[in-house]
Structure formats: C-alpha cells, structure tokens
Amino acid sequence: MSEQVSIAVVGSGYVGLVAAACFAEMGHRVICVDNDEAKVRVLREGGVPIHEEYLPELLSRHRRNLVEFTTDLRSATQDAQAIFIAVGTPQSKTGSADLSYVDAVASEIARSINSYKVIVEKSTVPVYTNEWIRRVIERNGVPRELFDVASNPEFLREGTAVVDFLHADRIVIGAATERAAELLRRIYEPLTSGAYYRGQSPVPGPRSEADPPPILQTSTKAAEIIKHASNAFLATKISFINIVANICEAAGADVEEVARGIGMDTRIGPKFLRAGIGYGGSCFPKDVAAFRHVAEQVGVDFGLLHEVERINEEQKVRFFQKVRSALWTFRGKKIGVLGLAFKGGTDDIRESPALDIVKRLLHEGCIVRAFDPAAEQRSKEVIPESSQMEYVQDPYTAAQDADALLILNDWKDFLEIDFKRLHHTLRYPIIIDGRNLLDPPTMAGMGFTYLSVGRANSVQPLDTIPTYFLPRERENIKRS
C-alpha cells in the first residue's frame, strides 16, 4: 500500500486541475487553490471548466473525499507536505516567460510555512526559476531547513491530459536534496511501482503493472531545461515536416509517404511529423519564444528557433494562398469551416491556427459558417457572432451552400462525416484540408476538388485552378 501524501496544488488551469485530479486518483489527499472565486465555486459545485477526457469522472470520484477546492492559499500551504505551483507563465512582450504569478505565489507560500515543505515547480519555467523561488522564500524569512524547492515538469497534452499524466513516458524529478526527491518519489510511487495499474478501474492507457513509467532524477536546472527543450524540439519537428511538405508540393511527392519513411527510422520516430497549418496552443508558441529568450540571456545564439517560428507563421499564409487559389476572389464568398480549436479533442482556442485563418477570411470579406465539436463558446468570445460569422451545430449546416469547405483541425469526429451527403450540401464540392485528415483519391472518387498540405491536389474537370496559382502542381492534378 502506497503512503498517502498531503498535497496542495496552486492554480487550477489545465496542468493544476489535471494534476490535482490525478494525484487524488493515485490515493493522495489534495487541496487545489485558485484565486478565481467563481472558478472555485464552479469546481466545488461539481462543474468542470475544461473539456478533458476522464477529468469529470475523476473529479466526481474524488471530490469532497480526496480533492477539495479553495481560495485560501495560507491554510492549504499549512496543511500540505508538498505544494505544487501550477500557475500561468504567460508570454511577456519580449517573448520571455512572465513569472510574476510564480513570484507572487512563492511569497505567499513563504508567509504561511510552519513546518517542512517541498515546493514543486510544475508550471513551465525558464532555467534558474527554481533558484529564484528559493531566494524569494528565504527573503521572506523562512529558514533554509524548513523547505526545499524541486522541479517536476509536466508533459501532458490537452485532450489526452489525464492519460498522459497517469501513463507518462517519464516522470522527471529535479531536486537538490534527497529529502525533497524522496517525497516526490513517494508521491509518484503508485505509478512507478505499477500498483495503480493493478488497482480497481484504473484509467486505461499504455502503461501497465509490468511496464510502469520510469523516474528520471536530475538537477533542478536540468529538469527546467528538459521541459523547454522537449517542447522546442517537438515544435521543431513540426516545422521541419511542414517545410518538407512544401518541398513535396513543389516536387510532386506525398508528404505522408515521406513522413512514414522518415519516421520508420527509430532514431527519428513517427510522432509529430504530421504536416498541416502549423502548431498552436497555449504551450508551443509561448515555450519556443521563452526558450529562445533563455538562450539569448545566457549568450547562446539559438537562431534555429527563429526559423521554427517563421516556418510556423508562413504555413498559415501558404494555406490561405491555397484557399485563394481555389476561390479566386474572397469578398462575399461563403466558406464552411470545420474546426476552431488549436487541435482536435479540446475546446482550447489559444494561438489556434484555425482561428487565425478564420480571422483572415473575415478580413477579406468572406462569410464564414463554422462548426467545432467543443470550441464554439470560447471562439465566440474572440470572434462574436455577426452577419459575417455564424456558428453552427453540425458539419452539414457549415457546408450548406458554401463555395468551399475548410478543415482546420483534426477532430476524429470529422472522419465520421457522410461526405456524399456533404457533397450535395456544398454549392461547389471543394474541400481544402489544412490537417491532411482525408484521403485524396477517396475524395476525388466522390467528386470533390480536394486540396491538402504537401500532397497532390485532386481537381475536378470544372474547377480550373489557374496554373499561375499552382505553378508546379500541374502534373499532379488528377482528373476523375
């Protein structure tokens, strides 16, 4: 039987809330703190403010019993053995991470410490943050023997956050003292010993009792850099495949075949090689900029990350040009849009490439009818409903009388669409797929003009796309 630890989690965003629910699922006693009273009320009353698979189940399983919500950081700190800081680290004007929330929380924790605590950075932070937190706490008069600061970065993805947490590839613990490392190892013991997976109704996922997640113990600085470098590397992989997709388009090759070929090299691996309209979300854009800034501060030229960002921006522009190539002019054209969130499986629209494209369409005078299985509410806060922008409840209404249909994120639900029905609904059967979700020959076979990223276009005889728009693609045009 694993030993229960009292944990406070400060911040109830994606990372904080998921960590709180998962720690409770692992058998610990958790108190989740947020200064947003309305959010705490919602959580206490059984609401779940984010769209995340398994989160409602875990919260209802453990609410009141193992996980509580409060705005009172002081008493939460006093009751806890470990305090996880999971507050936002937004991007500042210079691109660096704005650490003012972390600073404020650290000072507040310091004022409440009454016995030994391990303060754990869970938010993504630049190297040296750990040292800063330690200094802030010391400056507030807390004796050195009453606390340690450790780093335990979180690698969860939105949409699969609970499974990523409970079935992690690895658990990184950056600690300077054995006392702090020991407490963190104890917290993760239900996972690392495999006990969680043989328990009653564990959340299913890739890990098992026979293959539990490994722990990697490092210095605090290495742990901080591991997090930034992981996100920067994944973003680099995406920009890399996107540039390769552009070469494929020009050369007449299929980027999906190329990605498969590259990914079969075990040194490279098949993941994060999906070409499209670029990466978005609350992490990659912010973390690439923050890591670039860290490099600058320590005197290292990380020009590669500039290129990664530039390619990511370009990818949206190129897609937009592709839409223009299919439609000629924009003003007054009706465009159906599938997907608004920054990727499928989430309602998060932060830095969403899909919303960027929609804004460009609206700016050019298009009339947009958009459908997303979860992100409608959040999108409305950024692009309110108007005579130009309508939100609809299903893909067929989005396509109704449209001059073209755009696919802008990768919801699995879009694969279930009856495209034959959709064909009759569209004014012109043109689909422009920014996430390479569909199969070009199948779409051509159904009579669609189908354009995607880094693959041959399937153009129906009547849809003459002037060759000056698609200079090198003439040879690839399949006529059905």
Q: Which stretch binds ligand UDX (CB under 6 A): 34-42, 48-56, 65-73, 280-288?
A: 280-288
Among 231, 425, 452, 457, binds ligand UDX (CB under 6 A): 231
Residue corresponding to tokens 């499209």: 276
Closest to ligand UDX by CB, 7 vs 18, is 18
Angle between the 284-297 and 303-327 helix axes, to the nearest 10 degrees?
A: 150
Quick check: 158 binds ligand UDX (CB under 6 A)? yes
CA distance 126 to 225: 7
Q: Could you say which residues in the range 12-31 bind ligand UDX, by CB under 6 A?
A: none
Question: Which DSSP string do the residues of 302-356 spell out, in sequence order?
Answer: -HHHHHHHHHHHHHHHHHHHHHHHHHS--TT-EEEEE--SSSTT----TT-HHHH
In the complex, minimum distance from the CB of residue 4 to ligand UDX, in angstroms, rounded to a whole number: 27
Quick check: 213 binds ligand UDX (CB under 6 A)? no
In the complex, minimum distance from the CB of residue 337 to ligand UDX, in angstroms, rounded to a whole number: 16
Closest to ligand UDX by CB, 284 vs 428, is 284
Closest to ligand UDX by CB, 190 vs 285, is 285
Q: Which stretch binds ligand UDX (CB under 6 A): 102-110, 137-145, 148-156, 249-257?
A: 148-156
Among 39, 74, 157, 380, binds ligand UDX (CB under 6 A): 157
Q: Which two tokens stand for residue 151?
A: 């780093």
Q: Could you say which residues in the range 343-402 bind ligand UDX, by CB under 6 A?
A: 343
In the complex, minimum distance from the CB of residue 279 to ligand UDX, in angstroms, rounded to a whole number: 3
Sign of CA dihedral 52, 54, 60, 63: negative
Residue 144 CA: distances (Å) to CA of 8, 115, 117, 122, 183: 20, 11, 11, 21, 17
Quick check: 88 binds ligand UDX (CB under 6 A)? no
In the complex, minimum distance from the CB of residue 37 to ligand UDX, in angstroms, rounded to a whole number: 27
Question: Closest Cα partner for 311 from 254, 361, 245, 406?
Answer: 245
| Cβ neighbour number for residue 301 with a 10 Å cutoff | 9
Q: What count of Cα atoms within 13 Å lies in the side-chain half-sphere of residue 243?
A: 12
In the complex, minimum distance from the CB of residue 301 to ligand UDX, in angstroms, rounded to a whole number: 25
Quick check: 156 binds ligand UDX (CB under 6 A)? yes
Question: Closest Cα partner for 120 from 197, 28, 196?
Answer: 28
Among 23, 54, 69, 155, binds ligand UDX (CB under 6 A): 155
Residue 102 CA: distances (Å) to CA of 40, 118, 288, 446: 19, 15, 19, 54
CA 311 to chain centre: 19
How many helices, marked H, and strands, marked E, lie in the chain? 18, 14
Instruction: Count the site residues for ligand UDX by CB under 6 A.
Output: 19
Query: For this structure, is 283 an active site residue?
Result: yes
Amino acid at site 41: R
Quick check: 238 binds ligand UDX (CB under 6 A)? yes
Confirm if 58 and 25 have CB atoms less than 8 A apart: yes
Binding mask 258-277 for ligand UDX (x = CB under 6 A): --------------xxx-x-
Closest to ligand UDX by CB, 18 vs 426, is 18
Among 69, 330, 342, 371, binds ligand UDX (CB under 6 A): 342
In the complex, minimum distance from the CB of residue 232 to ligand UDX, in angstroms, rounded to a whole number: 11
CA distance 438 to 12: 36
CA distance 401 to 254: 31
Quick check: 284 binds ligand UDX (CB under 6 A)? yes
Instruction: Say which residues have a Cβ less than 8 Å from residue 409's Cβ, sequence separation at least 6.
Output: 338, 339, 340, 341, 342, 343, 344, 352, 354, 372, 435
Quick check: 405 binds ligand UDX (CB under 6 A)? no
In the complex, minimum distance from the CB of residue 465 to ligand UDX, in angstroms, rounded to a whole number: 25
Residue of 22, 32, 248, 283 with catalytic role = 283
Closest to ligand UDX by CB, 130 vs 282, is 282
Residues of this chain that bind ligand UDX (CB under 6 A): 154-158, 231, 234, 238, 272-274, 276, 279-281, 283-284, 342-343
- Known catalytic residues are 283
